[in-house]
A = this chain, B = another copy of it.
Amino acid sequence: MAQTADRYPVAALAELPDDIRERIVAVQEKSGFVPSVFLKLARRPDEFRAFFAYHDALMEKEGGLTKAEREMIVVATSGANDCLYCVVAHGAILRVYAKNPRVADQVAVNYRKAEITPRQKSMLAFALKVATDSAALEEADYDAVRAHGFSDEDIWDIGAIASFFAMSNRLANLTSMRPNDEFYLLGRLPREKRPG
């Protein structure tokens, strides 16, 4: 498991600022392991705090999108960006939220073939345009998702999640972030608890 360049050493927990160490310990207690993204980013505390504040603002909020739908956006756009960390880690979270052991692999490869609703497919088509060709967005793209009942605030959510993971995917590729082994199996077996 060691032959890939492992860029940027992981922070030592004991040396981290209190707030960051506490968040990491809380994740550890809830999930049973610490996802690599926490340890990679912790060596830069200001960036860590801003990253997770932004993440939580987009992923933990209430609104027209379910948590599973938010994760679908992450997995589909991370697949388009060939980001291993995000496909595997968020694929696990998506399986858990959607209570479907297949949907993450489907959405990561080709959402058109996935076991999701037409409304969710329109959401992913919009998210992928934001991810891959945002300058070409035009009124027809907004109308297409509105036709499935998404409000303009929902559309902001869809687009902002795709945008945030455009950043996140690049950071993971830049730093050679590796998915924890635990993620690969999470949500694939019948009874499992949801992640934090």
A21 partner residues in chain B, CB cutoff 8 A? none
A53 partner residues in chain B, CB cutoff 8 A? 46, 49-50, 53
Q: Which of A54, A174, A179 has the most CB of B within 10 A?
A: A174
| Bound complex: CA A57 to CA B44 (Å) | 9
Residue A11 lies at the interface, judged by CB distance under 8 Å to chain B:
no
Interface hits, A143-179 → B, CB 8 Å: 152, 156, 159-160, 162-164, 166-171, 173-176, 178-179
The closest CB in chain B to the CB of A172 belongs to: B134
| Bound complex: CA A96 to CA B52 (Å) | 32
Min Cβ gap A46→B in Å is: 4
With A8-B156, A160-B174, A163-B168 known, 15 other A-B pairs at CB within 8 A are A3-B118, A46-B53, A46-B57, A50-B50, A50-B57, A82-B110, A84-B105, A84-B109, A91-B105, A110-B135, A112-B138, A134-B170, A159-B170, A164-B167, A166-B167
Task: Write the residues of chain A forming the contact surface with B, with a CB cutoff of 8 angstroms.
Answer: 1, 3-5, 7-8, 44, 46-47, 49-51, 53-54, 56-58, 61, 79, 81-84, 87-88, 91, 101-102, 105-106, 108-110, 112-118, 130-131, 134-139, 142, 152, 156, 159-160, 162-164, 166-171, 173-176, 178-179, 181, 184-185, 188-189
- The 7 A-B pairs with the shortest beta carbon distances in the complex, nearest first, are A82-B135, A50-B54, A163-B170, A134-B173, A167-B167, A159-B174, A46-B57
